[in-house]
């Protein structure tokens, strides 16, 4: 390195002239800036760039994931869910509050609300009161889950969709108070297709026919989920909304783009990576242009569920590897294998775009 510096000094003039055509020179200082090196991050930059993962579920008080996040330069959003399996909602939230106190500045958390008493007359008031308590304890965001639209029924037995008037009252409260809402609404489109027409979920739905909506036509359709979400956004134009899992439009960048155009306060998290890689495999330029065009509306998130473990080294290693692999896809143009489909080239997005999707958009959204 030292020798190179010496050599550059010796031959300063010719190097400067040569560089002039391909690089820019700062007007006042005359410092030569090499453009290619400035515009992109390298694979090795992973550790030094500040990053944010906006879709994490922490289900344990163990510190192993958090230690790895620190090492890999990640802030994260811990999302509390109202799901019928695993750790109950209240327990998830207890852990989130503890972590918030233990690791100030490292994480934020998203709270949620129960729909258990949805058919009680005072459900809206009770829900808003519970949310206020969670905000007082540090929650910055609210999550609404797919049980609205796919499980919850009103007193007459009808499915309650996301644009239901009572859900509306809660959403209006959030809109008025500038609190962002994350919506995991519906499922991947695969869920409503026969097994042989699915892109990525065949294995899962073969094992879980009870969740495979193609087999349950009495449940609302995929389109009904998307329409209800769109209708909700139309009614709440000032709501800061983040659609989890590419807003459940993972199968089509065109359909996603239509919503981003129509709803200026909608963003999406990037937690359906296989779909993004498949779009890239099919048409890299189109996918890359999508990222360039919507660089202010995309936030990096992985949907990692962090459970108690007897093998902390393994948890740290798999967490690290998956984050590094994603970085390789976004920041470099190295080859990436998409299992069952083939090899694709990473998107190699400009630094400016990486900084936004990996950090600045999340920060802005959580302000
Ligand atoms: Zn999730």
Residue 30 has pLDDT above 80, yes or no: no
The answer to whether residues 243 and 266 touch, using CB atoms and an 8 Å cutoff, is yes
SS (H, E, C) 45-67: HHHCCCEEEEEEEECCCCCHHHH
Identify whether the C-beta of residue 338 lies closer than 8 Å to the C-beta of residue 277: yes
pLDDT digits (tens, 9 = 90+) for 296-320: 999 999 999 999 999 999 999 999 9
Distance 26 CA to ligand 1 centre (A): 46
Q: Is the dihedral of CA 83, 60, 267, 133 positive or negative?
A: positive
Judge if pTM exceeds 0.75.
yes
Cα of 243 from ligand 1 centre, angstroms: 11
Nearest Cα neighbor of 58 from 85, 113, 97, 19 is 97
Burial of 101 (0-12, 13-18, 19+ CB in 10 A): exposed
Q: CA neighbours within 13 Å on the CB side: how many for 234?
A: 10
Which sequence spans correspond to the domains of the chain? 1-39, 53-365
Cα–ligand 1 centroid distance for 292 (angstroms): 25
The rounded Å distance from CA 86 to ligand 1 centre is: 13
Strand partners, 243: 183, 268
Q: Is the pLDDT confidence value at 32 over 80? A: no
Residue 362 clears pLDDT 50, i.e. is over it: yes
**pLDDT tens digit sequence for 247-285:** 999 999 999 999 999 999 999 999 999 999 999 999 999
Cα of 54 to ligand 1 centre, how many Å? 10
Which helix (H) or strand (E) is 222 found in, with range? helix 222-235
Q: Which residues surround ligand 1, an ion (CB under 5 A)?
A: 303
pLDDT at 17: 37
**What integer best gives the mean pLDDT of the chain?**
91
Residue 5 Cα to ligand 1 middle (Å): 50
Positive or negative CA dihedral for 93, 99, 59, 183? positive
In this model, does residue 24 exceed pLDDT 80? no
pLDDT top residue among 321 and 8: 321
Is the pLDDT confidence value at 37 over 90? no
The predicted pLDDT at position 84 comes to 86
Model pLDDT for residues 60-87, shown as the tens digit of each residue: 999 999 999 999 999 999 999 998 888 9
- pLDDT single digits (tens) 162-186: 999 999 999 999 999 999 999 999 9
Residue among 174, 170, 186 nearest 247 (CA) = 186
CA of 245 to the centre of ligand 1 (A): 8
| Distance from the alpha carbon of residue 79 to the mean position of ligand 1, in angstroms | 7
Which one is the CATH code of 53-365: 3.20.20.70, 3.30.930.10, 3.20.20.140, 2.130.10.10?
3.20.20.140
Report how far residue 50's alpha carbon sits from residue 45's, in angstroms, rounded to the nearest whole number: 10
Has residue 5 got a pLDDT over 50? no
Ligand 1 centre to CA of 42 (Å) is 29
Yes or no: say if 261 and 295 are a contact pair by the CB < 8 Å rule: no
Q: What tokens appear for 242 in the block? A: 């983040």
């Amino acid at each position: 390195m030292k020798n190179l510096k010496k050599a550059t000094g010796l031959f300063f003039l010719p190097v400067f002239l040569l560089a002039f055509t391909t690089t820019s020179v700062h007007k006042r200082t005359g410092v030569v800036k090499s453009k290619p090196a400035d515009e992109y991050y390298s694979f090795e930059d992973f550790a030094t760039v500040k990053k944010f993962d906006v879709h994490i579920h922490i289900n344990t008080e163990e510190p192993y994931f958090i230690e790895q996040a620190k090492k890999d330069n990640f802030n994260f959003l811990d999302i509390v869910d109202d799901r019928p399996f695993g750790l109950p909602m209240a327990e998830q939230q207890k852990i989130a509050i503890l972590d918030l106190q233990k690791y100030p500045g490292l994480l934020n958390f998203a709270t949620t609300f129960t729909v258990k008493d949805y058919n009680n007359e005072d459900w809206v008031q009770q829900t808003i009161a519970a949310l206020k308590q969670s905000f007082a304890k540090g929650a910055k965001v609210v999550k609404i889950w797919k049980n609205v639209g796919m499980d919850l029924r009103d007193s007459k037995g009808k499915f309650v969709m996301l644009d239901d008037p009572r859900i509306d009252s809660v959403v209006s409260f959030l809109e008025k108070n500038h609190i962002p809402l994350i919506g995991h609404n519906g499922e991947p489109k695969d869920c409503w297709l026969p097994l042989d027409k699915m892109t990525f979920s065949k294995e899962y739905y073969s094992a879980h026919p009870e969740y495979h909506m193609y087999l349950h036509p009495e449940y609302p359709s995929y389109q009904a989920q998307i329409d209800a979400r769109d209708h909700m956004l139309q009614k709440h134009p000032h709501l800061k909304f983040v659609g989890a899992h590419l807003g459940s439009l993972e199968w089509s960048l065109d359909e996603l783009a239509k919503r981003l155009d129509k709803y200026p306060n909608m963003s999406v998290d990037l937690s359906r990576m296989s779909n993004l890689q498949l779009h890239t495999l099919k048409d890299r330029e189109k996918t890359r242009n999508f990222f360039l065009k919507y660089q202010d509306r995309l936030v990096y998130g992985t949907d990692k569920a962090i459970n108690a473990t007897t093998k902390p080294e393994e948890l740290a290693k798999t967490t690290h590897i998956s984050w590094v692999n994603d970085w390789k896809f976004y920041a470099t143009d190295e080859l990436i294998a998409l299992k069952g489909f083939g090899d694709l080239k990473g998107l190699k997005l400009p630094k400016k775009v990486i900084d936004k999707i990996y950090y600045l958009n999340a920060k802005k959204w959580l302000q």
